[in-house]
Amino acid sequence: MVKQILEKIKPQHLFATCRNPSGAKELNDLASQYGNLHVIELDLGNEDKYTEVVDKVDAMTGGEGLNVLINNSGIYGDKGVSSIFNLDKKQLQEHFDVNTFAPVFLTKAFVPLLEKASSKGGSAPNGIGRAVVMNISTKMASITDNTSGGAFCYRSSKTALNMLTKCMSFDLKAKGIVTVLMHPGWVRTDMGGPNGLLSTDESANGILNVLENIGEDDNGKFLQFDGQQIAW
Amino acid sequence: MVKQILEKIKPQHLFATCRNPSGAKELNDLASQYGNLHVIELDLGNEDKYTEVVDKVDAMTGGEGLNVLINNSGIYGDKGVSSIFNLDKKQLQEHFDVNTFAPVFLTKAFVPLLEKASSKGGSAPNGIGRAVVMNISTKMASITDNTSGGAFCYRSSKTALNMLTKCMSFDLKAKGIVTVLMHPGWVRTDMGGPNGLLSTDESANGILNVLENIGEDDNGKFLQFDGQQIAW
């Protein structure tokens, strides 16, 4: 995703956060190639650090604000939890911390910078020319689409993210910020495994096509990598 | 609800839990009138006590099991949280503890008694003649129906309950247990306030009509007090 944003969208600045920058070889290689890519340390579990990251971004953008926030963090630790019979409360809570609460409160922290970017958008229509929040969700969070059960922690934590994102979309719209949910497809990543239906390139390409064309009408919608809308 | 269950369904035993039995005047008055009503102390926040309650019910029913579990607990503490801008993490987590995790883990604890009741149902079709779990949700948890935002904590914690209930419905079906979600309507209770559209009698009456007619086809559905299905 970072690679394609650099190549296709060519932003003035791109901030990529990760838990352990010194171990993020691919990101660091890209950063040495692209001067506009900045790698920032952030463990989303440390909510106390959010303000620090926001301040860094604010300083590095010279107060111009942030046009796009993509919340892509997520864990899928359900491999041992196949049913209500072995559901574990600690594991469930951990999924809500990472998949639900972290993206919501990071977004809350970035609202001032998003609002600033939107207000500086001149005559641009609502969208990435102003400000967009894209929360990465999953089709597995669709209750309509849940015809087999299982994956309690992953599914329910992302369903809660869907509702919270829908809720915030009304508040952010009033600030000129468009908020969407994105299902990236079943991708051949570490999380998706080798049987995924899409390569990372295909998924990232789809997501960025959708992102570039987001408008006010998309606010609060649950879209997938090819632009189709997903049922709640 | 307790009153109408006693009058309409006339169960052999009815167990009503509450945090503070000594202060539950109405329940105690009913219990002195109806020998089949048993008031049991339970704070759903104390997960350690669940097994104790299950054991009590098991002993008092002489090992016959439990036919119906209604998870009715809930908090609505959103009155001060109207937007993403003042959303508080502690408050959000508290809603998930009470509205989401408590009913799920209490159900998990009661599965053995529900399964026992179902297996003793003879030729009865799936439903209250065997075993039913009814989780009280709310139309405010419908993302489809969310056209105004607000009430972040209440909405999202109940939406997560919807997904977790949908997930468990597949597992419990295999044990002869039907699982449903119920929107009680906007009721004139302490929580609903004086402007609610239904009296407690009307709501309870509707819910019990639905409960008595629940069949296998209702498994995993989100129903409201008049039997209509609600969109996710």
Q: Please write the tens of the pLDDT for every residue from B109-119.
A: 999 999 999 99
Q: How far is B88 from chain A (nearest CA, A)?
A: 9
Question: Could you say which of B150, B162, B168 has the minimum Cβ distance to residue A84?
Answer: B168
Q: Do A160 and B111 touch (CB under 8 A)?
A: no
A149 touches chain B (CB under 8 A): yes
Q: Do A170 and B149 touch (CB under 8 A)?
A: yes
In tens, the pLDDT along A53-94 reads 999 999 999 999 999 999 998 999 877 668 999 999 999 999
Question: Could you say which of A84, A111, A160 has the minimum Cβ distance to residue B156?
Answer: A160
How far is the first Cα of chain A from the last one, in angstroms, to the nearest whole number? 25
Question: Could you say which of B104, B156, B231 has the minimum Cβ distance to residue A163?
Answer: B156
Q: How far is A133 from chain B (nearest CA, A)?
A: 13
Q: How far is B56 from chain A (nearest CA, A)?
A: 21
Give B75 or A191, the one with higher predicted confidence.
Answer: B75
Q: Do B146 and A164 touch (CB under 8 A)?
A: no
pLDDT attached to residue A192: 87
**Separation between Cα atoms, residue A65 and residue A54, nearest integer Å:** 10
A232 touches chain B (CB under 8 A): yes
A104 touches chain B (CB under 8 A): yes
Which residues, including other chains, have CB under 8 Å from residue B83's CB and lie 6 or more apart? A168, A171, B149, B150, B152
Q: Which token pair is A26?
A: 């691919």
A160 touches chain B (CB under 8 A): yes
Beta-strand pair B131-136/A222-224 = unpaired
A85 touches chain B (CB under 8 A): yes
Domains in chain A, ordered, with CATH? 67-224 (3.40.50.720)
A140 touches chain B (CB under 8 A): no
How many contacts, defined by CB atoms under 8 Å, are there between A and B?
124
Question: Any idea what DSSP says for residue B124?
Answer: P
B102 touches chain A (CB under 8 A): no
Nearest to A201 by CA among A8, A12, A16, A71: A8
Give chain A positions within 8 Å (CB) of B148: 170
**ipTM value for the complex:** 0.96
pLDDT at A3 over 90: yes
> Residue ranges of chain B with pLDDT lower than 70?
80-81
**Separation between Cα atoms, residue A68 and residue A14, nearest integer Å:** 9
* Residue in chain B lying closest to A94 (CA): B93
pTM, to two decimals: 0.97
A46 touches chain B (CB under 8 A): no
pLDDT attached to residue A80: 67
Q: Do B155 and A163 touch (CB under 8 A)?
A: yes
Nearest to B128 by CA among B116, B140, B117: B117
B39 touches chain A (CB under 8 A): no
In tens, the pLDDT along A132-159 reads 999 999 999 999 999 999 999 999 999 9
Nearest to B220 by CA among B137, B99, B129, B101: B137
Q: What is the mean pLDDT of residues A184-212?
A: 94
Q: Do B163 and A143 touch (CB under 8 A)?
A: yes
Q: What is the mean pLDDT of residues A88-115?
A: 97
How far is the first Cα of chain B from the last one, in angstroms, to the nearest whole number? 25
pLDDT attached to residue B190: 85
pLDDT attached to residue B221: 98
What type of residue sits at position A112? P
